[in-house]
Chains A and B, each alone.
Chain A
Amino acid sequence: MATLDLQRIVKSFDATTILHGIDLAVKDGEFVVFVGPSGCGKSTLLRVIAGLEAPTSGDIRIDGQNVNDISAAHRGCSMVFQSYALYPHMSVYDNMAFGLENIGVPKAQIESKVSAAATLLRLGELLQRKPTQLSGGQRQRVAIGRSIVREPKLFLFDEPLSNLDAELRVSMRAEIRELHARLKATMVYVTHDQVEAMTMADKIVVLRAGKVEQVGAPLELYNRPLNTFVAGFIGSPRMNFLPVALLPDEARQGGHALVPQGTHTIGLRPEHAQIANDGPIAMQVSSVEQLGSTSLLHGKVGADTPFEMVLNGQTSTRGGDTVRLGLSTAHLHCFDSQGLRL
């Protein structure tokens, strides 16, 4: 169990810079998720922490100790790879025992540790099988088991669920959360799926183009995104962005202004949009998806700004209708011309 500190981590490959100076502090026992679009550098950052890549500059401290010059083998981290990287010629037992053998742990101890991890992950029956004889979910658990057995200071996960089908992903998410609660270990998890991030993280780090956009608890990022990128990335369906010009003048200025001075873009989540007969903005509905418990309205506001709305229950609104939206300051997100929150 350990803390992790990253200071001004820069990583370049030849002429291209992937990470532009990352600062981060992870507390002991936290479950941190790096999330962002592909190419944002989240996997690179993970590999730098693991020691598989050396940072071009910057410091990495695990439990206060600078590990820049310590090789991956001795940093006390373990990694679950996206492809699992299980040794195909070894049995499940040997896969898990390998790391312990390498550091000279006596056989009896290896046996007890491996069986403990196997029991935890329900792999007891499969110990003598080879990886090719296992299903995707089972292989995943073996990969996790291999990490646990080493009792590392830091658990690293590199998009471990992306090779599983949707249903399996949901159950594995819960399993990993349970594992975290049980082991109380510090875990760093990389994913491109914001749903995974929201459901699993204690703290989310949103990355874009090698820079940290925002760090915070899931709900914090949901309720107070610091810029339009985070606002648009977190939350599904995606937040609606409206140019402030769509609001009538009185809503923009004066004492009853809904939005502060300098607002350039307004953000409103689909689930926070309400129909109000005297609302300031009109929406032309183009189609309605009725899911039974919720209704999804697609349409446009203003000239051609796309807009989506999620309503509880079923609705009588049809495509082609026009509805008026009510705006309450509580749910409006205001961004300036640079996309930053006001």
Chain B
Amino acid sequence: MHWLTRLLGIFFNLFEPLFRLGQRVLGVSRIGWLFVAPNLMVFGLFTFLPILINFVYAATGGVKLMPFERPFTGVENFGILFECRNYFDIQTCRKDVFWRAIFNTAKFSVIQVVLMVGFSLVTALVLNRKIIGRGFWRGVFFYPVLLSPVVVALIWKWLLQSQGVFNAALVATGNEPIGWLTDAGWAFFWTVFVSIWAHMGFYTLILLAGLQAIPKDMYEAAEMDAASPWRTLRRITLPLLMPNLIVVLVLAMIRAVQIFDEVFVLTGGGPGSATTFIVQFIYQTGFAEQIHLYGLAAAASLVLALGLMLLTFVQLRLTKASEAGQRAR
């Protein structure tokens, strides 16, 4: 370990003169800028600048990567995305995959979030009771959260493939094997299931923390008030947990709308575009197709950004409302 301290020492000595100089120039009060500079530079270069450039891409066409080599096209990209002969029939849309992706994402988000938060809530309620080895059980549900999406997808792909365990069980009970990932309906189901499997532990943790913040004598008072377990849950536990629930719901929603990694590896968006979601559409349009349509991809990203902004706005409103109704405990 001695070499480690030596290395750190060298590193320290490297930067000290720079900061001493900065200190002399800027003074102690403004040296803060120097400390925060690297962070700001990275944010600036890789977050803020791209936001601006995104608009440039969305408003230009052509196939070049460099923004100044692209012809200005105004809102044409959006026009392409939204052009449909008949708005009730996706097939008549010019970019029907885009609409498919939006529809799939909406359907997925609602179903997945409701189910996942539901399971997380039940699990948190169970873990909140007096059980032996609570830390162990909490870890059980939390472990899949740590796995990479690629690993998660591969685990399930292995289980679900035509010669896999699930089909083995079906055949053993006298049924026909099912193409779990080749059937549109089942593929969608599994994207929901797998993402719930991989993420519910995280939200369980947050909800459990919220439950444990409820003082124990509140439950005793409810017991003395002859409240049945169901009434206690409905009138005491859930209302007191509401702020956490809202946070969890919105966080989960924002995550769900952006789902990509595990679905991409699990189904690749298929069969067809049955499990193609919006981020995959953006990726495909901008990077995976024969021709990289950067403008279209940027336009689609802005649509997604708009959706996310709406969600965040809703969250702020809901949080404010629930806080007004509660005012600290």
Contact = CB atoms under 8 A, between A and B. Distances in A.
A150 B325 CA distance: 27
Interface string A91-103: 0000000110011
A87 B218 contact: yes
Which of A72, A74, A89, A132 counts the most B-chain CB atoms under 10 A from its CB?
Answer: A89
Contact of B223 (A52, A86, A146): A52
A98 B240 contact: no
Interface in B300-329: 325-329
B218 A85 contact: yes
Interface stretch (B197-205, B225-233, B273-281): B225-233
B221 A102 contact: no
A81 interface: yes
Contact of B224 (A50, A88, A132): A50
A73 interface: yes
Given A73-B223, A79-B221, A102 B231 contact: yes
A340 B318 CA distance: 67
A78 interface: yes
Which of B218, B224, B236, B239 counts the most A-chain CB atoms under 10 A from its CB?
Answer: B224
A15 to B, nearest CB: 17
B227 A102 contact: yes
Nearest to B325: A89
A77 to B, nearest CB: 7
Contacts of A77: 224
Nearest to B232: A102
Main secondary structure of the interface of B (DSSP, over half): helix
Contacts of A88: 240, 326-329
B225 A102 contact: yes
Which of B218, B225, B327, B328 counts the most A-chain CB atoms under 10 A from its CB?
Answer: B225
A130 interface: yes
Contacts of B223: 51-52, 71-73
A102 B228 contact: yes
A52 B328 CA distance: 27
Given A85-B218, A102-B231, A79 B224 contact: yes
A81 B220 contact: yes
Given A87-B236, A89-B239, A98-B235, A130 B220 contact: no
A83 interface: yes
A72 B224 contact: yes
Contacts of A98: 222, 225, 227, 235
B89 interface: no
B327 A73 contact: no
B220 A103 contact: no
A132 B328 contact: yes
Interface in A88-119: 88-89, 98-99, 102-103
A130 B218 CA distance: 15
Contacts of A73: 223-228
Interface in B6-62: none
Contacts of B226: 73-74, 99, 102-103, 150
B217 interface: yes
Contacts of A150: 225-226
Nearest to A133: B327
A130 B329 CA distance: 10
B246 to A, nearest CB: 14
B215 interface: yes
B326 to A, nearest CB: 6
Contacts of A103: 226
A253 to B, nearest CB: 58
A73 B226 CA distance: 4
A77 B235 CA distance: 21
Interface string A48-61: 00111000000000
Contacts of A74: 226
Contacts of B329: 88, 132
A86 B218 CA distance: 7
Nearest to B221: A85
B221 A132 contact: no
17 contacts: A72-B220, A73-B223, A77-B224, A81-B217, A81-B221, A83-B217, A85-B218, A85-B221, A86-B221, A87-B221, A88-B327, A98-B222, A99-B224, A102-B226, A102-B228, A146-B225, A150-B226
Given A73-B225, A88-B328, A98-B222, 10 more contacts: A72-B224, A73-B223, A73-B228, A79-B220, A79-B221, A83-B215, A85-B215, A89-B326, A98-B235, A102-B228
Interface of A: 50-52, 71-74, 77-79, 81, 83, 85-89, 98-99, 102-103, 130, 132-133, 146, 150
